[in-house]
């Protein structure tokens, strides 16, 4: 009977048989991570928080009123630092230490703003504890980020907390530090696990280094402190460096030191 059928019909029939014999495969996209309904999730692509990029803007409630972050920065340098939660031991010591450094940061034209993943009512009570424990008077605002909107915007969330979201509930923020200049550019980021307290002196040292570099056109070596020798950038020739800075000490052709004072 097959010999009586046209070849075109036979080819079509055979193709149908082969297709029917193949296993049916349905590809599905991986399921999106499940987040609790009270957890803020990004609705747009995560900003790329590279050094030199503009710090993402946001509006938020703080212990000193509602803010637009870029308006808050204004023409000042700013430190944004996050904390996992109110009434936690490490965070309490950190906020107290930063509060005590207020005058030093103000000398450098630097504002401070904290963030903790609780509401305003909790923040206000916590500040009383901070002032008591550290014997200080905390004056900078603390962002209320109970829904983690800013934490996700600035990628301040530990991967472990995301992976364990169903077991642990809402994700904690990690200890992040962002140093932002007067042009609203991110100049430095530091990320610490929740278990490790930061070093306020290092944050201040970094700001001194960045501001010295901007003003003087130099870079700073390991463990540099204000008043110590700085490095002449490779882009500046030794004759030009001597004209600009005076004495230049050459250790290697690519490693030259000078002093620009404090």
Residues 116, 223 within the same domain: no
Contact status, residue 158 vs residue 164, Cβ threshold 8 Å: no
Residues 80, 176 within the same domain: yes
Query: Which residues lie closer than 8 Å to 211 by C-beta, 6 or more apart?
Result: 77, 108
Considering the chain, what is the average pLDDT of its residues? Answer: 82
Residues 160, 77 within the same domain: yes
Residues 190, 73 within the same domain: yes
Check whether 210 has a pLDDT greater than 70. Answer: yes
Q: Residue 189 corresponds to which tokens in the numbers above?
A: 């980021």
Q: What is the pLDDT of residue 159?
A: 66
Check whether 30 has a pLDDT greater than 70. Answer: no
For residue 143, give the H/E element and its range. strand 142-144
- In this prediction, residues 106-111 reach a mean pLDDT of 96
Residues 246, 188 within the same domain: no
Q: What percent of the chain has pLDDT over 70?
A: 76
What is the residue-wise DSSP string for 24-75? P----PPPPPP--TTS---SSPPP---TTSBPPP-EEEETTEEEEHHHHHTT
- Determine which one of 79, 80, 91, 153 is catalytic: 91
d(CA 125, CA 121): 7
Model's pTM, two decimal places?
A: 0.77
For 249, the domain range is: 217-258
Is there a catalytic annotation at residue 66?
A: no
Residues 177, 229 within the same domain: no
Residues 75, 189 within the same domain: yes
- How far does CA 88 lie from the centroid of its chain? 21
- Count of residues in the chain: 262
CA distances to 26, 121, 176, 188, 262 from 116, rounded to whole Å, are 44, 12, 11, 20, 35
Residues 142, 234 within the same domain: no
């Amino acid at each position: 009977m097959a010999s009586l059928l046209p070849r075109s019909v036979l080819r079509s029939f055979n193709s149908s048989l082969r297709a029917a014999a193949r296993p049916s495969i349905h590809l599905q996209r991986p399921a999106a991570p499940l987040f609790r309904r009270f957890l803020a999730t990004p609705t747009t692509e995560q900003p790329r928080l590279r050094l030199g990029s503009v710090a993402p803007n946001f509006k938020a409630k703080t212990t000193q009123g509602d803010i637009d972050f870029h308006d808050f920065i204004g023409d000042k340098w700013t430190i944004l630092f996050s904390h996992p939660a109110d009434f936690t031991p490490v965070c309490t010591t950190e906020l107290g230490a930063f509060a005590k450094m207020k005058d030093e940061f103000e000398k450098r034209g630097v504002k401070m703003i904290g963030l903790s993943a609780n509401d305003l009512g909790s923040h206000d009570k916590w500040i009383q504890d901070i002032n008591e424990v550290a014997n200080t008077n905390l004056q900078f605002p603390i962002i209320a980020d109970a829904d983690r909107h800013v934490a996700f915007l600035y990628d301040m969330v530990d991967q472990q907390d995301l992976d364990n979201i169903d077991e642990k509930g809402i994700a904690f923020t990690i200890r992040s530090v962002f140093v932002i200049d007067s042009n609203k550019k991110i100049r430095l980021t530091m990320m610490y696990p929740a278990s490790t307290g930061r070093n306020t002196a290092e944050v201040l040292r970094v700001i001194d280094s960045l501001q010295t570099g901007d003003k003087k056109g130099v870079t700073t070596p390991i463990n540099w402190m204000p008043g110590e020798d700085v490095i002449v950038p490779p882009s500046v020739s030794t004759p030009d460096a001597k004209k600009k800075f005076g004495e230049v000490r050459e250790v290697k052709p690519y490693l030259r030191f000078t002093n620009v004072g404090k």
